[in-house]
Amino acid sequence: MAALCIGIGNDYRHDDGVGLYVARLLREQNLPDTVVIEHGGDGISLLELIAGADADAVILIDAISSGAAPGTLVQFAAHEHPLPARCFAHSSHAVGVAEAVELARVLGNLPRCCLVYGIEGACFVAGVGLTPVVEQAARDLAAAIEQKRRNPQPHAAF
C-alpha cells in the first residue's frame, strides 16, 4: 500500500517543528512505497496535497497543544472521525491542519486511510530546537511508523 507521510511544522517555533523532524527521520529510512514531505502547515496547500495524493494512505504528523503532558502522542483516524480542532489551535495559519482535513472530507478528497499523529509540545515560542521530551517522542513515533511501513499487517490501516 502506497503512503504519503507529511510532517508539518515550523522549525523556528521550537516544538512546532516536531512534524518536520519526524519527516526527516523517516526520509533517512528509505521506506518502501512511501513518499515523505515536509510542510509548513498552510491549510490550503495541505488540502491540495491530500486531495492530489496518489496514495492509499496519508499520514500527517504535527505538534498539538491539548493540555496533556509534553511528549504525549495521540493518533487520530481522520478518515473515520473529525479532528478535534482545539488540539491544533496553535497554528499560525488561518486554515490549519484540522480545517484542511475537514475540507478534504467535505470535498470527498480524503483517502481511504488518513491518520494524524499529534505530539504534545511544550514550547511554541520563537527559537530553534525541540525540547528533549518532544524529541524523544518524535524518535519513538518515527520508529513506530517505520516498523509499520516495513512490516505491514494484512488488513491494517497502513
DSSP character string of 27-92: HHTT-TTEEEEEE---HHHHHHHHHT--SSEEEEEEEE-SSSPTT-EEEEETTTS---GGGGTT-S
pLDDT at position 93? 47
Say what the pLDDT of residue 89 is: 59
For the chain, what are the domain ranges? Answer: 3-150
Q: Provide the pLDDT for residue 42.
A: 84
Per the rule left: phi > 0, alpha: psi between -120 and 50, beta: everything else, 147 is: alpha
Which pLDDT value is given to residue 99? 86
CATH 3.20.20.220 assigned to domain 3-150? The reply is: no
Q: How many residues does the chain have?
A: 158
Task: For 72-117, write each residue's pLDDT tens digit.
Answer: 999 999 999 888 766 665 555 456 788 888 889 899 999 989 999 9
Cell numbers at 78, concatenated: 481522520
